[in-house]
Structure 1
Amino acid sequence: MTSESKPAHFLQNIIREDLAGGRVSEVVTRFPPEPNGYLHIGHAKSICLNFGLAQEFGGSCNLRFDDTNPAKEEEEYVESIKRDVSWLGFQWAGEAKYTSDYFDQLYDWALHLIKEGKAYVCHLSPEEARAYRGTLTEPGKNSPYRDRSVEENLALFEQMKNGEMKEGECSLRARIDMAAPNINLRDPIIYRIKKMAHHQTGDKWCIYPSYDFAHGQSDAMEGISHSICTLEFEDHRPLYDWFLENLPVPAHPRQYEFARLNLNYTVVSKRKLKQLVDEKHVDGWDDPRMPTLSGMRRRGVPPAAIRNFCEMIGVTRSDSVVDLGMLEYAIRDDLDKNAPRAMCVMDPLKVTLTNYPEGEEENLNAPGHPVREDLPARVLPFTRTLYIEREDFREEANKKYKRLVLGKKVRLRNAYVIHADEVVKDANGEIVELRCSVDRDTLGKDPADGVKPKGVIHWVSAEKNVDCEVRLYDRLFSDPAPDAGDKNFLDFVNPDNLEILSGCKAEIGLANAEPEQSYQFERNGYFCRDSKYGTVEKPVFNRTIGLRDSWAKEQDK
């Protein structure tokens, strides 16, 4: 089903009604990540949704960094988020924005609430504040500092701003209702003291607004028409609206919630992803085993595959867990259509063609796939010595084995039929070489011409190839819900998530492979050249995904 014929989801219907009814004249959305880590596959759904809705309805989408917590935010994360959004295929409106751009205005609005008697400075400790807050079934009780005068609150808040208070000594709280059924309305914190520099504002501030206070007002200043969040923010919506209703904001955006992307065999908590990085279970945020967008890019996942996956899973308000196999299907489907073909021998076994003249070489043409003007024709040097996969030869085999057997024939892909005549072994009895004969009358001929080899195998010239390393990445976790409940997610790290193969031999055309360029290694899977390791002389190729879903079958054995 195409996106055009697919039924509209609830957010599309809301926007159509808002435009038709005149509530809004222009659709303006935003993607507001906190720069405290790299984006992951869960963020991709929000990116595609916010930017996609803006595109669909002729509007615009802002990229706004929710940078209200300097303790966890870094410029590295800011730049990585920009790269990931662009890589995914989207462009934000104007310059990237920051909640810190609005700190002066947010401070003035905090003063407005104090002057209206709707905010106060509270000296309860964090532990005392939690005790006063109550529970989901029991109301909270008023802070003993709740009835301070406007003048006292203004003076105390000024002292907070000037750095005259210690961290944790006090906070500015909204004065709403400590008995409210919604616990988010029980006098939430507006400002807290953090005496540390900010990556955008430097040392200007030592008090910082809370997310709940900053979020709606930032939306209002940017004229956001539809503030789209995940379902965990549904209970925060009354507070979002309370601030907008009690402040002189220039607009009143509306918040809507959708179900976040939950993917099995995956962890997307930034805290846990950071733990994987800090404890060196993986090689950085862009490790190809990570569910981060930068890791998926380095692994060779096409951005179109991620966009298609987000389209496939749809947009609802019902939480569910998506099977990782659906993402793998989207990746495999895109690569099958778009990845150029190539041959790479991962466990080389030397083949000498005894009846092929020494020193002779010919260039064989291999069909390109897909057929594109920007892809050069494949030329395969054919020489007296070749490499084939060690597993593609057996001295003896039953009729089901469709590869090379001693005394039998096999076709070399895009080349000739060869016959295995002799095996050469070392002192330990290991096969080190095959001596074969080649039938040079079989090029381009098929069984209808009387040529009936057992099967077809891939190969490369032993004299002209690309010496490379191949990294076979697999799923990072072996459990479908590695961090559910009280589980320690580290207990379920798949011990076989990476196998490194050195001494691999790829066809000579891969000497020109660009970093992150994807290929289908015929019969082996989809791979891309690594952007972090390897050299031009000896590149590293990462496995993106297999040709078929063999992983699940292995787990069932």
Structure 2
Amino acid sequence: MTEPSAMPSNFIYDAVRADVEQGKRDGRVQTRFPPEPNGYLHIGHAKAIVVDFGVAADFGGICVLRLDDTNPETEETSFVESIVADIEWLGYQPADVRYASDYFQQLYDWAERLIEKGVAYVDDQDGAAISAGRGGFGKPGVNSPYRDRSVEENLELFRRMRAGEFAEGSRVLRAKIDMAHENMQMRDPVMYRIRKVAHHRTGDQWPIYPNYDWAHGQSDAIEGVTHSLCTLEFESHRPLYDWFLQQLEVEDAPRQYEFARLELTHTVTSKRRLAKLVMDGVVDGWDDARMPTLRGLRRRGYPAAAIRNFCREVGTTRTNSRQSIEALESYVRRELNTTSQRRMAVLHPLKLRLTNWPVDERGEPVVEYFEVANNPERPEDGTRQVPFTGELWIEQDDFREVPPPKYFRLSPGREVRLRGAFFVTATDVVKNDDGEVIEVLATYDPESRGGNAADGRRVKSTMHWVSAPHAVPLKAALYERLFTAEAPGEATGEALDDLNPDSRKVVDGWAEPALVDATPGEVVQFERLGYFATDLDQVMLFHRTVGLRDEWAAIQKRNG
């Protein structure tokens, strides 16, 4: 159990702490994370995972992963496997993995109990009639014509539903509560529907399936959950959650608490919309590095620790808000600055040739090696040897034949420092038939080895480089926001209207030889360019995780 002084301070921790101190449920704390296995987890789920698992761990309790598999049309075993793997990648280990389908028989038996109590009935109306009969806000609903069936008739019909005798959609089981209740969730909610669809775990065993609101709270009770934590959209469901447990007379019933979900600027977390991006080929799949899924963020190079720290820092409140994606990137950048190796790579290559570079007795350019730190933040990571010759690759943006004002990088007659190597001065250019510069000619100062002039003179720019004869080819995927608007869909009502058609650009570049040793998923800092993650599948493909510039710090400074 975490020391109280080290715990977060918020309403959920206050409530759990009070329960523990009062000895409720013998002081036990058990939470659960209950995703539906109909897609992949996204950044919004990460917040819920951090809360669910964090509360349990801090109070010395357990958190169970329960797959809410009550909708067989949309659920797949592959989604279950991905959810388990993503939770473990994020850094959490469930105390157990369970399924709502584990409790189908118990839920059915309890439904019969409610029928016997006279608080549940079989309704023959179709979905449209039931929806119309519920009324609206400020408008009471209308009782179903089948609401007053006898207990015996309801039991017989429900058992025949269970036996598969009726057509799909012909009948439902509803709770009998109050069709005039101010909370729409309490207007005789549906508990079971006939669905003659095979389930990924139970096969064709069940022709009826429980609705979420019926399965959820009862599954919590079966498992011994003490604190049922969920996001604010379920706040209106809490009276129904409590009503079912009260009708079943569950002892030490769990209590539901709601907190604000995590929303980010320039991001969509609707599974329906994310699925459409995949189906329409806008992205390469659920694990595309532009997707806000945990799989996409992992491919992009986001460290699990940065996501956890960000979710904790956002805090647990009861007020929905949209967090800045730049804030999340700031946490990513901070983590990677400490953990990532440094390498030099050129993504928009321009040849630089040193005309006074020495050659050996065979007329071949001399090769020198410079000792460079792998990570200045971590001396224990050691150094590496970087080759240097008279032919180099530099970035196109690092040379201007006609420099604009305050441009301090390479231009004719200007001297700059090549990172850790020498001072060089541009002398001439080589152009193609279209007049484009394809090579820059320069001289180097042999007395500036290591990047410091012998006479102490200074330059205003330091550039990275790659030795052309030793360079290894790479592909780099450069990303912009997947959605151009801060709040996608706010202006038009449809988030996909704000898609950025130029959210990814793949370029061919060159890198120093040490980069070939990067392992799949490893993130390295390309000096002066940003942090890049090695693709999990394709060799020498790197995804730009984040740039070096801390945009969040700039935003905070502007906002005072």
| Residue 397 (structure 1) aligned to one of 380, 403, 406 | 403
CA shift, 1:441, in A, is: 2.2
In structure 2, the partner of 1:303 is: 304
In structure 1, the partner of 2:81 is: 79
CA shift, 1:374, in A, is: 7.7
Structure-2 change in CA distance of 1:187 and 1:486 (3 Å): farther
Structure-2 change in CA distance of 1:196 and 1:375 (3 Å): farther
In structure 2, the partner of 1:360 is: 366
In structure 2, the partner of 1:237 is: 238
The answer to whether the 8 A contact 2:525-2:532 is kept is yes
| Residue 56 (structure 1) aligned to one of 48, 55, 58 | 58
Matches within 5 A, 1:155-304: 155-247=156-248, 249=250, 251-304=252-305
Matches within 5 A, 1:437-476: 437-444=443-450, 446=452, 449-476=455-482
Structure-2 change in CA distance of 1:73 and 1:373 (3 Å): farther
Q: Please give the secondary structure, in 2, of the residue aligned with 1:139.
A: coil
CA shift, 1:78, in A, is: 1.1
Structure-2 change in CA distance of 1:515 and 1:122 (3 Å): same
Q: Please give the secondary structure, in 2, of the residue aligned with 1:78.
A: helix
Correspondence 1:431 to 2:437 = yes
Separation in structure 2 between the aligned mates of residue 428 and residue 401 of structure 1, nearest angstrom: 25
In structure 2, the partner of 1:378 is: 384
What is the TM-score when the length of structure 2 is the normalising length? 0.93
CA shift, 1:200, in A, is: 1.2
Separation in structure 2 between the aligned mates of residue 550 and residue 106 of structure 1, nearest angstrom: 51
Structure-2 change in CA distance of 1:19 and 1:552 (3 Å): closer
CA shift, 1:384, in A, is: 2.6
Separation in structure 1 between the aligned mates of residue 454 and residue 191 of structure 2, nearest angstrom: 80
What one-letter code is carried by the residue in structure 2 that aligns with 1:72?
Answer: T
CA shift, 1:552, in A, is: 12
In structure 1, the partner of 2:336 is: 335
What one-letter code is carried by the residue in structure 2 that aligns with 1:46?
Answer: A
In structure 1, the partner of 2:513 is: 508
CA shift, 1:335, in A, is: 1.8
Provide Cα deviations, 1:274-330, integer angstroms capped at 9, x if missing partner. 111111111111111111111111101111111111122111111222222211222
Separation in structure 2 between the aligned mates of residue 18 and residue 553 of structure 1, nearest angstrom: 43
Separation in structure 1 between the aligned mates of residue 552 and residue 379 of structure 2, nearest angstrom: 35
Separation in structure 1 between the aligned mates of residue 462 and residue 209 of structure 2, nearest angstrom: 66
The answer to whether the 8 A contact 1:221-1:251 is kept is no
Separation in structure 1 between the aligned mates of residue 419 and residue 482 of structure 2, nearest angstrom: 34
Q: Please give the secondary structure, in 2, of the residue aligned with 1:394.
A: coil
| Residue 411 (structure 1) aligned to one of 417, 426, 443 | 417
Separation in structure 2 between the aligned mates of residue 111 and residue 183 of structure 1, nearest angstrom: 24
The answer to whether the 8 A contact 1:125-1:168 is kept is yes
CA shift, 1:26, in A, is: 1.4
Give unmatched runs, 5+ long, in structure 2.
none
The answer to whether the 8 A contact 2:447-2:453 is kept is no
The answer to whether the 8 A contact 1:343-1:507 is kept is yes
CA shift, 1:392, in A, is: 0.8
Structure-2 change in CA distance of 1:171 and 1:329 (3 Å): same
The answer to whether the 8 A contact 2:330-2:551 is kept is no
CA shift, 1:482, in A, is: 1.2
Q: Please give the secondary structure, in 2, of the residue aligned with 1:526.
A: strand
270-279 vs 150-159, which moves further: 150-159
In structure 1, the partner of 2:375 is: 369
Structure-2 change in CA distance of 1:283 and 1:552 (3 Å): farther
| Residue 28 (structure 1) aligned to one of 27, 30, 37 | 30
The answer to whether the 8 A contact 1:338-1:370 is kept is no
Separation in structure 2 between the aligned mates of residue 78 and residue 445 of structure 1, nearest angstrom: 54
Separation in structure 2 between the aligned mates of residue 306 and residue 428 of structure 1, nearest angstrom: 48
Separation in structure 1 between the aligned mates of residue 216 and residue 405 of structure 2, nearest angstrom: 68
CA shift, 1:138, in A, is: 1.8
Provide Cα deviations, 1:236-258, integer angstroms capped at 9, x if missing partner. 11111111111254641010111
The answer to whether the 8 A contact 1:353-1:438 is kept is yes
Q: Please give the secondary structure, in 2, of the residue aligned with 1:70.
A: coil
The answer to whether the 8 A contact 2:448-2:454 is kept is no
The answer to whether the 8 A contact 1:356-1:438 is kept is no
Separation in structure 1 between the aligned mates of residue 187 and residue 9 of structure 2, nearest angstrom: 37
What one-letter code is carried by the residue in structure 2 that aligns with 1:274?
Answer: A
Correspondence 1:531 to 2:527 = no
Q: Please give the secondary structure, in 2, of the residue aligned with 1:341.
A: strand
CA shift, 1:421, in A, is: 2.5
The answer to whether the 8 A contact 2:421-2:449 is kept is yes
The answer to whether the 8 A contact 1:340-1:368 is kept is yes
Structure-2 change in CA distance of 1:331 and 1:153 (3 Å): same
What is the TM-score when the length of structure 1 is the normalising length? 0.94
